[in-house]
Amino acid sequence: MAPRAPPAYDPIPLNKPLYKAIADTGSVSGARKLVNSFNLPIRSGRAWEVRAGQVCRIITPEGPQVGDLNIWNRHNPRERFWAARTRQLQQSHVKLFDRLWSCLPFLRPLVTVTADSLSNYGVDEAGGRVHDLLGTRCDPYVNQLISGTSFDFQCHSNLTRAVLPYGLSESDVHDVLNVFQVAGLDESGRYFMQPCPAKAGDYWEFFAETDVLCALSTCPGGDLSQWGWGEGAEGSGTDMLSCCRPLAVEVYELMNREELLKDWKEPLPAAYRGIHGLVLDPNSSRV
């Protein structure tokens, strides 16, 4: 076997002390002010805004539950999270201080991960890792295809309902980050999912690099311990409903923001300003 080539993408440098300082505000009394919080019931979706420079925490308040997360530029929904490129620039599963990158023609970090209470999960015996970027949201189309049944509360549908109040629609829903989800590829390269390891009070948190709109779905598969297709995977011996728990979201303002973020600047879109080799011929005539 040929030796494996090094990783194709070197990490894009980031100001680690800055993000460490932002992360540290989570454990200092009075360093953050809660500006928004809500619970997300089972099998539902909700969208919310996070302003540039704020921190947002997603929590498993009652124990294991997977969340499917979408992110857009709040002011331009054409700029949205790009799971595939993030997978290459970071890795298959999101880690502390990783960034979630936006699609073309923007390609900039929308958010940076500043806390992860499951950061010690590492690689399990099956080869699974947590906070999965390999897979995507469950959706009613593949559910119908596989199970022959119709179900309206897959993550894709939950996210679709969530964004409607913001003027977005089903076509704005995109590939997700599966927060708290353990997944991997088996020896054949086939995708697998493991039960969610989160306990009550576990959390995953990000710093918003620009004004973003987020949407989160509490996956109808719950903690994925009895996962199957269809609403309750009837007849398969599974009881997915009992595996479902709520998630919670908290948004914080950083109190000492001016000092803390003095070296931070909102990232600009990638610098390419070419026109993809298109040649405009001044001699061509048009009537």
9 vs 191 by CB, closer to Zn ion: 191
- Rounded to the nearest 10°, the torsion over CA 117, 50, 18, 197 is 10
155 vs 168 by CB, closer to Zn ion: 155
Cis peptide leading into residue 105 (ω within 30°): yes
Helix H segments across the chain? 16-24, 83-89, 140-147, 155-163, 257-260
> Least separation, in Å, of the C-beta of 144 and Zn ion?
15
Which of 59, 219, 224, 233 is the binder for Zn ion (CB under 5 A)? Answer: 219
> Least separation, in Å, of the C-beta of 221 and Zn ion?
5
66 vs 254 by CB, closer to Zn ion: 66
Stretch that binds Zn ion, among 101-109, 217-225, 242-250, 251-259 (CB under 5 A): 217-225
Stretch that binds Zn ion, among 93-101, 130-138, 191-199, 205-213 (CB under 5 A): 130-138
74 vs 245 by CB, closer to Zn ion: 245
> Least separation, in Å, of the C-beta of 246 and Zn ion?
14
Count residues contacting Zn ion (CB under 5 A)? Answer: 3
* Residue 160: C-alpha distances to residues 164, 180, 221, 241, 263 (Å): 7, 21, 17, 21, 37
Q: Which two tokens stand for residue 128?
A: 């699974």
How far from the centroid of its chain's Cα atoms is residue 40's Cα?
16
Instruction: Indicate whether 216 belongs to the interface with Zn ion (CB under 5 A).
Output: no
Instruction: Indicate whether 138 belongs to the interface with Zn ion (CB under 5 A).
Output: yes
Stretch that binds Zn ion, among 42-50, 122-130, 148-156, 198-206 (CB under 5 A): 148-156
* Residue 176: C-alpha distances to residues 84, 100, 233, 244 (Å): 10, 11, 23, 19
CB proximity list for 233: less than 8 A, separation 6 or greater = 147, 226, 227, 240
| Dist. CA 217–CA 120, nearest whole Å | 25
53 vs 246 by CB, closer to Zn ion: 246
CB proximity list for 145: less than 8 A, separation 6 or greater = none
> Least separation, in Å, of the C-beta of 129 and Zn ion?
18
Which of 155, 176, 233, 240 is the binder for Zn ion (CB under 5 A)? Answer: 155
203 vs 227 by CB, closer to Zn ion: 227
Instruction: Indicate whether 40 belongs to the interface with Zn ion (CB under 5 A).
Output: no
Phi-psi region of 24 (alpha: psi -120 to 50; beta: other; left: phi over 0): alpha
179 vs 219 by CB, closer to Zn ion: 219
Binding positions for Zn ion, rule: CB under 5 A: 138, 155, 219
